[in-house]
Amino acid sequence: MKKSVEYLTGLLLLLLLLAGCKVEPKPIAYGAANCAHCSMTVADNRYGAELVNDKGKAYFFDSAECLAAYINEQPEQGQKAAFLLVTDYARPGQLVDARAAYFLQSEALPSPMGMNLTALADAATAGKMQQEHGGQVLDWDQVLLAVRNDEKLQ
Q: Is the pLDDT of residue 29 over 60?
A: yes
The predicted structure's pLDDT at residue 36: 97
Q: Is the pLDDT of residue 113 over 80?
A: yes
The predicted structure's pLDDT at residue 2: 72
pTM: 0.85
How far apart are alpha carbons 64 and 58 in whole angstroms? 15
The predicted structure's pLDDT at residue 19: 54
Given strand 136-138, what is the order of strands in its sheet?
Answer: 117-120, 102-105, 136-138
What pLDDT, in 10s, does the model give residues 46-78? 999 999 999 999 999 999 999 999 999 999 999
Contact 138, 146 (CB under 8 A): yes
Of the candidates 142, 51, 50, which has an alpha carbon nearest to the alpha carbon of residue 103?
Answer: 142
Across the chain, mean pLDDT equals 91
